[in-house]
Amino acid sequence: MATIYEVSKLAGVSLATVSRVMNNSSRVSPKTRQKVLAAMQKLDYHPNTIAQSLASKRSNSVGVLVSELHGPIFGSLVSGIEEELTRAGKFSIFAVGHSDGEKEKDGINFLISRNCDALIFHLEASSDEFLLAQKNSALPFVIVNRLVSGLEENCISLNNVKGGIEATRFLLKQGHRDIAYISGPLHWGDAGQRLAGHKTALAEFGIPFDPNIMVEGDYLVQSGYVAMKQLFGRKAKFTAVICANDEMAVGAMDAIREQGLSMPEDISLVGFDNVRWAPFLSPKLTTVNNPVNEMGRMAARWVLKNVYGINDRPIQTFFEPEIVVRESAGARV
Amino acid sequence: MATIYEVSKLAGVSLATVSRVMNNSSRVSPKTRQKVLAAMQKLDYHPNTIAQSLASKRSNSVGVLVSELHGPIFGSLVSGIEEELTRAGKFSIFAVGHSDGEKEKDGINFLISRNCDALIFHLEASSDEFLLAQKNSALPFVIVNRLVSGLEENCISLNNVKGGIEATRFLLKQGHRDIAYISGPLHWGDAGQRLAGHKTALAEFGIPFDPNIMVEGDYLVQSGYVAMKQLFGRKAKFTAVICANDEMAVGAMDAIREQGLSMPEDISLVGFDNVRWAPFLSPKLTTVNNPVNEMGRMAARWVLKNVYGINDRPIQTFFEPEIVVRESAGARV
DNA sequence: CTGTTAGCGCATTCAA
DNA sequence: TTGAATGCGCTAACAG
């Protein structure tokens, strides 16, 4: 790889001048600019971003810490972030937290050590206190998919409570009164909020929450299956089920079919997230929209605006989910 | 952030010594090592990886260029790579190519400029010639999911031909004789290979390939739907359909249902890839396994072995796909 | 508008 | 075993 020295030599100018035409930092006469450009071309010169970042103390790259790199949720989160950042000429550096407190900290340290200009967090294991403490750190950061009080301006989040309300209200309006609920891990914020929404909607209709038709799952397919089996085992009466995410809804579907029941005739099912394959299921899954890709984009724009001063697109920090009606849930018969 | 200077000052040793304890590069007396370690701890010192990489000309990070960051295929490819690399203490830097020749080149340049020690490519638009030319570049690289002749040692790939054979043979053995085929974009290697396998299996059974029951799609859901509609429109006779990937199979399913037909009774359907949600479909999709996650891991191990000299796990460079029998395809009635 | 001069934080010779 | 000196490739004052 050619270096800036060789370019400056070939162009017959100084180091600084080459640097200037690269960064458009200050005026350079068209003539010398041409010479430099020609030399760069000739040498197939590509600046060493590592050196740039060491010298300039900024890297044009933003660190992104997510729980996983795969899966419908993280995948679309990550690509939303990446696209928006790339569009603005910034780079993304990813680290994976695996929903583990230690790994999340390791990831943050890794990103910091890479001279990132800012950080985007999707943290599950780290506490609010930890996040609040980061507030005083040098690096600006934004949190996706979580609303930490005291850090409102740094959060891009979804109204999970409303999501829970929407799902339940929909079923209520369809005439259902006995609605089972399979929640996510309740020690995570969003799972608790979605459940709270469910209870709120129930209360609106004067229906008491019945713990006997509620099971706590772990957001994975298998757990939806198991939870559904448990529900059937309890011999409790219910005509509809809400799953706190689509993954579990898929597992629940299997259990429902095994039971010889069909949807939505015998039982109505509603999911949450509206993952890409929700409309491919049979019956097509009625679910609550979770605009993760958009939230990812917004997190990226937040950084673009607050760190790089690029503010050419609107930023929305709070999202209201809506129910997406398809086939898996219908009127109570 | 504390620097190495502050650590050396606090510990009362030289720069070089601090560097030595960090890298275990040469013997340091236990005593001074302890002093340095203590100082690092006290200052919460984290080495600046950017500076390390500039000084040492190696970054402990490997560049990964993939077509997309989301979706069942890329997601699991990417996380396979990331996990394996992280396990060995190496870092991953991602760039996205979007199946576009220019963007793929940009991505490569980005990765090179980040001082990556090696590159992992999942390229779709770039030609074999381009790849062959890279052979002479300074950076070692490995190609996933593609077999380029002349670069065999640098490729981790799937026997797509065999995949096509397996899918078709399975249907043939079930008694089907008129098997429609919805292919991927034929200018991409794997799509052509899968189709070639299909033809091979047909030939084995002495059945001529009928272009009238074959449509070229683009690997996306919608295209499976459209292709299936076309097939029905042609009024051609067929009792089974193979889709060159699961995405299109899902689209085809929709079209088949709209036609009032059911699977596998009226028509048998086989996909390709065995994506995570294939078993969630109804009927559960019979498909051909595509071990992308494993291939990602192998690419990472290739780098670990050939670039970093870490060779603690077996490496497999060529994968043989197998049919995964579920419910969407059955005996011809 | 252009060149000179210092570093950025660290690894790595070479001596001691 | 340890320290001093040099440079990785580039940016950023400061002069000119």
Chain segment B293-312, per-residue pLDDT in tens: 999 999 999 999 999 999 99
Q: What is the pLDDT of residue A24?
A: 86
The Å distance, CA of A16 to C1' of D15, is 13
Domains along chain B?
Answer: 4-47 (1.10.260.40), 59-158+291-319 (3.40.50.2300), 160-289 (3.40.50.2300)
Q: Is B133 on the interface with A (CB under 8 A)?
A: no
Residue nearest to nucleotide C6 (CA to C1'): A55
Q: Is the CB of B11 under 7 A from strand D?
A: no
Check pLDDT > 80 for residue A84.
Answer: yes
Q: What is the pLDDT of residue A113?
A: 85
Check pLDDT > 80 for residue A138.
Answer: no
Least confident of A16-25, A164-173, A220-229: A16-25
The Å distance, CA of B56 to C1' of D8, is 7
Check pLDDT > 90 for residue B186.
Answer: yes
Q: Is B76 on the interface with A (CB under 8 A)?
A: yes
Alpha carbon distance A256, A285 (integer Å): 14
- Band of the pLDDT at A71, cuts 50, 70, 90? confident
A170 token code pair: 């929909």
Q: What is the pLDDT of residue B250?
A: 96
Amino acid at A224: G
Q: What is the pLDDT of residue B115?
A: 87
- In strand C, which positions have an atom below 7 A from any protein CB? 1-13
The Å distance, CA of A117 to C1' of D6, is 30
SS3 of residue B128 by DSSP: helix
Specify the DSSP class assigned to residue B186: T
For residue B302, the Cα-to-chain-centroid distance in whole angstroms is: 14
Region B103-118: what's the mean pLDDT? 90
- The DSSP annotation for A121-145 comes to E--SSS-HHHHHHHTTSSS-EEEES
Q: What is the pLDDT of residue B112?
A: 87
Q: What is the pLDDT of residue B24?
A: 87
Q: Is the CB of A50 under 7 A from strand C?
A: no
Alpha carbon distance B251, B256 (integer Å): 9
Check pLDDT > 90 for residue A224.
Answer: yes
pLDDT-above-90 percentage for chain A: 85
- Band of the pLDDT at B213, cuts 50, 70, 90? very high
Q: What is the pLDDT of residue A201?
A: 98
E-assigned strand segments in A135-219: 141-144, 155-158, 179-183, 214-216
Region B94-114: what's the mean pLDDT? 90
Based on C-alpha coordinates, what's the Rg of chain B? 25
φ, ψ at B58 (rounded to 5°): -145, 150
Check pLDDT > 90 for residue A27.
Answer: no
Q: In sequence order, which ranges of B114-220 are alpha helices (DSSP H)? A: 128-134, 160-173, 189-204
- Band of the pLDDT at A246, cuts 50, 70, 90? very high
Chain segment B44-75, per-residue pLDDT in tens: 999 999 999 999 998 889 999 999 998 889 99
- Band of the pLDDT at B140, cuts 50, 70, 90? very high
Q: What is the pLDDT of residue A258?
A: 94
- Band of the pLDDT at A280, cuts 50, 70, 90? confident
Q: What is the pLDDT of residue A180?
A: 98
Q: A33 vs chain B: nearest CA distance in angstroms?
A: 22
Check pLDDT > 80 for residue B147.
Answer: yes
Chain segment A289-306, per-residue pLDDT in tens: 999 999 999 999 999 999
Residue among B51, B54, B113 whose CB faces A46 most closely = B113
Q: B298 vs chain A: nearest CA distance in angstroms?
A: 18
Which residues from chain A sit within 8 angstroms of residue B75, using beta carbons? 69-71, 74-75
Q: What is the pLDDT of residue A191?
A: 96
The Å distance, CA of B94 to C1' of D4, is 39
Whether residue B164 contacts residue B196, with contact meaning beta carbons closer than 8 Å, is answered with: yes
Residue nearest to nucleotide D5 (CA to C1'): B16
- In strand D, which positions have an atom below 7 A from any protein CB? 1-13
For residue A225, the Cα-to-chain-centroid distance in whole angstroms is: 25
Of A304, A10, A284, residue with least CA distance to A140: A304
Would you call B69 and A46 a contact, using CB atoms and an 8 Å cutoff?
no
Q: What is the pLDDT of residue A115?
A: 86
Q: Which range scores top for mean pLDDT: A108-122, A152-166, B106-120? A: A152-166
Q: What is the pLDDT of residue A235?
A: 85
